[in-house]
A and B are shown apart, each in its own frame.
Chain A
Amino acid sequence: AQKVTQAQTEISVVEKEDVTLDCVYETRDTTYYLFWYKQPPSGELVFLIRRNSFDEQNEISGRYSWNFQKSTSSFNFTITASQVVDSAVYFCALDDNQFYFGTGTSLTVIP
């Protein structure tokens, strides 16, 4: 069974639209960490955020925000006022003593 599910394989939005990338995870541990990474077309992986299982506060960083809900095992990522430079594959990941990536959501922002 997938430990991290990113059901949206591909999303296209027009520039300046808001977009939410979904992430659902599965773990039996009470202590775990969740991450989001970005992989632009150049191929490198860039860390965006880390959240531990005891901190359900939502976080905002510029145009990026994250919504962590333990009740639904979800850690969703919203980009506000999307820009062409946001076009990339975004990965959600879980660390519960092993490290699991989701299969990624490919976001295309159309100018």
Chain B
Amino acid sequence: NAGVTQTPKFQVLKTGQSMTLQCAQDMNHNSMYWYRQDPGMGLRLIYYSASEGTTDKGEVPNGYNVSRLNKREFSLRLESAAPSQTSVYFCASSETAYNEQFFGPGTRLTVL
């Protein structure tokens, strides 16, 4: 039982490059989330998917897109990376909304 997995663990991009962060969960959870964590800012919700087939914006969605590929997988795409997107990105899942969330190990992204 791997829980929530994220790939890659580390990534360095140049400004303007694109990339997709992958997230998968094996707990049969309905809801999935993407957060970014910046020093002094706590975690901020980027996008979430309450259930398969739905996605909604969180607090800081600009510059990102998401895809809920199936019940297990929820990807986050940066179309044109900017230095302001340098952060640690966490994926999480929960049985349903309002339940506790289980987090992946995070992806450390640096945009030069």
Which A residues are within 8 Å of any B CB, using their own CB? 4, 6, 9, 33, 35, 43-45, 47, 50, 52, 91, 93, 95, 97-104
Q: Which residues of B contact A (CB under 8 A)?
A: 33, 35, 40-45, 48, 58-59, 88, 90, 92, 97-103, 105-106
A56 and B68 CA atoms in complex are apart in Å by 36
Task: Let me know if A47 and B102 touch, CB within 8 A.
Answer: yes
Which of B42, B48, B88, B97 is most buried by chain A, counting CB atoms within 10 A of its CB? B42
Inter-chain contact total with CB atoms closer than 8 Å? 47
Assuming the contacts A98-B59, A100-B59, asked whether A91 and B100 have C-beta atoms less than 8 A apart, the reply is: no
List, in ascending order, chain B residues with CB within 8 A of A9's CB. Answer: 40
23 CB < 8 A contacts A-B: A4-B42, A33-B98, A43-B105, A44-B103, A44-B105, A44-B106, A45-B43, A45-B92, A45-B103, A47-B100, A47-B101, A52-B98, A91-B43, A93-B43, A95-B97, A95-B98, A98-B45, A99-B58, A100-B45, A101-B35, A103-B40, A103-B41, A103-B42
> Distance in Å from the Cβ of B97 to the closest Cβ of chain A?
7
Contacts of B103 in A (CB 8 A): 44-45
